[in-house]
Amino acid sequence: MAAVVACAYLAYPPLHGANLYDFHYLPLGIPFVWWVLHAVESRRRIMAIVVALVAMSVREDVAGQLAVLGVFLLLTGPAAVEGILLTLVPGAYAVVLKLLVMPHFKGGVEAFVDQYGALLPQGAHGFAGVLSTIVGNPAFAANVAIDKDKVVYALKIFAPVLALPFRAPRCWLLLLPGFAFTILSSYGPLIQTSFQYTAYWIPWVFIGVVLALERIGRPGDATATLRRRAAVLGLAFASLASTMYHGAFTRHETVQGGFGRFRFESTADDLRRREHVAQALALIPADARVAASEELTPHASSRTFDYKLRYGVYDAEYLLFTAPIGGEEGGQALPELRNGTFGVVADLDDVVVARRGQPTLLNAFFLARAGR
């Protein structure tokens, strides 16, 4: 039975989507949240403290999820002291970071509030406004939470596990982070299983699977073994069916990673671009400050200063971007090339390097190509 649950986790399509879209913080929190629960239940307090600190360091909302786990332990288990500590310490850390530290570095603006714009009252600008809508007008909040796309999203989250978490009332509390962070939002990627935000659900969904199977097999129930076997068989079937249609192991033409289909193969064009990226990076000193486009910034991220070009050029010494360039990135890079602040060092057709203060002999050629 444990092996079936483990295989269902590995075959879980929302987990695949989270891992195939770039490299994000949230999925890294999943094993640490489980590790904390394991350490608490096995009474290994030092381990629990260390792993909880690591989990908190992943991201502030992972700390918030630990606080929910603390409430769960406090209400349902014998680990009352650990539950209180997990509720208070990670909870306070998440609140301070979210409402004080992050706004301090964003000029007083609370981060990611725009993702819940549908719940913001007119004139409000922070999470307090979102909470006031949820508490003061629950009917409106429910209307935001229930629409076709969100129903489809919820089915993709729960159908692969046969909706077993709903069979365990103790798990309902644990499902709150997923509901609050995704279903109440008005930001498209938060309700798509091809993004990292499925990590708000994954640890709690599979804890719920375990709790449900445990509940089905209560001692003294003559039919417990038969019903548990039926549930495990149903879990195996649902998991296999969902991963065949949406998972990364079988039909690759349906697998999503982020905004589009994920390609597993490397084409001749991919290999050529990879060579061009290597040539471009070789032209940039290891200690230079770089403003790079979305697809190239991971390749420059080992240096101290690697800016996202879409947000600004800042004090970058080099620009590194893919061509053709447009949108926010083009709005940042093209004016710098037109006014001569940066000169093109290398135009490799699909990858371009420009340096601050470099002669602008190649700029006109590239700008003409960019215009076409």
Q: What is the pLDDT of residues 200-237, one digit of tens each?
A: 999 999 999 999 998 887 766 778 888 889 999 999 99
Res 77: pLDDT? 73
Res 372: pLDDT? 59
Residue 17 exposure: Cα atoms within 13 Å on the Cβ side = 31
> Which position has the token pair 């039975």?
1
**What do you get for the CA distance between the two ends of the chain, in Å?**
61
SS3 83: helix
Average pLDDT over every residue of 178-183: 90
Res 342: pLDDT? 96
From the CB of residue 108, how many other CB atoms can be counted at a distance below 10 Å? 9
Asked whether the beta carbons of 303 and 287 are under 8 A apart, the reply is yes
pLDDT in tens, 51-103: 999 999 999 999 999 999 999 998 887 788 889 999 999 999 999 998 899 98
Asked whether the beta carbons of 125 and 190 are under 8 A apart, the reply is no
Asked whether the beta carbons of 153 and 145 are under 8 A apart, the reply is no
How far is 230 from 317, CA to CA, in rounded Å?
63
How far is 289 from 304, CA to CA, in rounded Å?
8
319 backbone dihedrals φ, ψ, rounded to 5° = -110, 135
251 backbone dihedrals φ, ψ, rounded to 5° = -85, 90
SS (H, E, C) 157-222: HHHHHCCHHHHCHHHCHHHHHHHHHHHCCCCHHHHCCCCHHHHHCHHHHHHHHHHHHHHHCCCCCC
Return the percentage of the chain with pLDDT > 70, whole number.
Answer: 99
Average pLDDT over every residue of 350-371: 90
Residue 359 exposure: Cα atoms within 13 Å on the Cβ side = 2
pLDDT in tens, 233-264: 999 999 999 999 888 888 777 888 888 888 88
Asked whether the beta carbons of 343 and 370 are under 8 A apart, the reply is no
How far is 254 from 355, CA to CA, in rounded Å?
41
Bridge pairing between strands 290-292 and 318-322:
parallel
Q: Of 26-35, 297-306, 362-371, where does mean pLDDT reach its minimum?
A: 362-371
Asked whether the beta carbons of 56 and 66 are under 8 A apart, the reply is yes
Q: Taking all residues of the chain, what is their mean pLDDT, rounded to a whole number? A: 90
Whole-structure pTM value: 0.84
Average pLDDT over every residue of 294-320: 93
How far is 259 from 245, CA to CA, in rounded Å?
18
Retrieve residue 32's tokens: 């640490």
Burial call 242-254: b when 16+ CB within 10 Å, e when fewer: bbeebbbeeeeee
How far is 347 from 351, CA to CA, in rounded Å?
6
Sorting pLDDT into bands at 50, 70 and 90, what band is 13? very high
Q: At what angle do helices 80-96 and 60-76 cross, to 10 degrees?
A: 150
pLDDT higher than threshold 90 for residue 35:
yes
> Which position has the token pair 């700029």?
363
Sorting pLDDT into bands at 50, 70 and 90, what band is 107? confident
How far is 12 from 7, CA to CA, in rounded Å?
8
Asked whether the beta carbons of 18 and 198 are under 8 A apart, the reply is yes
| 171: CB partners within 8 A, 6+ apart | 165, 204, 207, 208, 211, 212
Asked whether the beta carbons of 292 and 306 are under 8 A apart, the reply is yes
Q: Which of 154, 155, 159, 150 is nearest to 11 (CA)?
A: 159
Retrieve residue 237's tokens: 């079937």
